[in-house]
Amino acid sequence: MEQHRIVDIHLLELRYAHTRIMKTSDFRRLRNSIGTYGQIVPTLVVKDTEKKLVLIDGYLRVQALLACGQDQVLIDLLNDNEQNAIFSLLDKSSERQWEAIEQAILIQEMHRRFGFSLGNIAQRLGRNKSWVKRRLDLVEALPDQILKAVLSSKLSTWAASRVMAPLARANASDAEKLMAQLEKEPLSTRDLSRFYEHYKNSNQSVRSRMVENPPLFIKALNEKDKDKEARDIRDGPEGKWFKDIQIVCRMLKRLIETSEQVCYPRQDGLKRKRLQTWVGIVEKEASVLKKATGEKEDARSIEERCDS
């Protein structure tokens, strides 16, 4: 049973403050609302074994009240223990907009501090064990520096889960360097996603330079994209067509040069005959395309000849 009462804020044990993301926009909106209308929705509190008032939910409301110069808070004192209150809060995911990181940290609390197994946590939350494991892996993969950046809204949960967590698992040092740079000069979600895609496909030398100055890399990437766009506009469809033809010619040339490797004297007669037939076709097509690119015939003529 819940008991409504007003208590001094300094009496609250803010034990789970580290599990909440402080979103500046939400804080300003709540502060303005409380400043105008006062606190309407009570916070949720339980008494622990030492009779301390532990704040379970309502951390942003408490911060907003303090920002408005108030020292008291309206609470609902739950007649339940701390663990059950946390599970009940997590179970109301459809009523409350939880970030994955917030869920993960609370699950970590249940697992480490209270000793619940992953299977037991999954059962209490109506989830499967793999979901609980993924949440736990997410928070445990992040270095403290990155986790603090997420909780202070300097880094989005998406960036933490899709970029920083896998990067930290693969190379913790690069993840910390990247985070240090992002704190100085943040990147948009789109730019950070592009950065990570290039990082995954680069060698170690390039990766080191990338994490030293991410904004410079993105700037160079954008300039390269602009140059390509300008070339495409300048060259028009004819230029694109001849580039494609040149690629095809190079592929055909490579096939001709390597034909001896797949067509050898002692090979099965039927298979060798088929390969020789294909080599002949390739050589013929290469000759046709070479002449086409040299004489710059129109696309319709090339298409008809190649297709035949």
- DSSP conformation letters of 105-150: HHHHIIIIIS---HHHHHHHHT--HHHHHHHHHHHHHS-HHHHHHH
What pLDDT is recorded for position 282? 67
What pLDDT is recorded for position 295? 47
Span 62-77, pLDDT tens digits: 999 999 999 999 999 9
Span 225-256, pLDDT tens digits: 887 777 767 677 766 777 777 777 777 677 76
Burial of 285 (0-12, 13-18, 19+ CB in 10 A): middle
Span 24-41, pLDDT tens digits: 889 999 999 999 999 999
